[in-house]
A and B are shown apart, each in its own frame.
Chain A
Amino acid sequence: AQSVTQLGSHVSVSEGALVLLRCNYSSSVPPYLFWYVQYPNQGLQLLLKYTSAATLVKGINGFEAEFKKSETSFHLTKPSAHMSDAAEYFCAVSDMNRDDKIIFGKGTRLHILP
Chain B
Amino acid sequence: NAGVTQTPKFRVLKTGQSMTLLCAQDMNHEYMYWYRQDPGMGLRLIHYSVGEGTTAKGEVPDGYNVSRLKKQNFLLGLESAAPSQTSVYFCASSSFRAGASSEQFFGPGTRLTVL
Asked if B58 is at the interface of the complex by the 8 Å CB criterion, the answer is: yes
Report A22-34 CB contacts with B as 1/0, cut-off 8 Å.
0000000000101
Of A68-76, A78-86, A104-112, the one with at least 4 CB within 8 A of chain B: A104-112
Q: How many residues of B contact A (CB 8 A)?
A: 28
Asked if A90 is at the interface of the complex by the 8 Å CB criterion, the answer is: yes
Given A43-B107, A99-B31, A105–B42 Cβ distance below 8 Å?
yes
Report B81-106 CB contacts with A as 1/0, cut-off 8 Å.
00000000010101010011111101
Q: How many residues of A contact B (CB 8 A)?
A: 22
Asked if B19 is at the interface of the complex by the 8 Å CB criterion, the answer is: no
Asked if B13 is at the interface of the complex by the 8 Å CB criterion, the answer is: no
Task: Decide if the interface of chain A is mainly helix, strand, loop or mixed.
Answer: loop
Q: Contact residues of A with B, CB < 8 Å?
A: 9, 32, 34, 41-46, 49, 51, 90, 94, 96, 99-102, 104-107
Which A residues lie within 8 Å of B45 (CB)? Answer: 101
* Contact of A100 (CB < 8 Å), options: B41, B58, B90, B102: B102
Contact B40 A101 (CB under 8 A): no
Minimum CB–CB distance from A44 to chain B (whole Å) comes to: 5
Contact B107 A100 (CB under 8 A): no
Minimum CB–CB distance from A94 to chain B (whole Å) comes to: 4
Which A residues lie within 8 Å of B109 (CB)? Answer: 41-43
Contact A46 B42 (CB under 8 A): no
Minimum CB–CB distance from B27 to chain A (whole Å) comes to: 14
Report B23-49 CB contacts with A as 1/0, cut-off 8 Å.
000000001010100001111110010
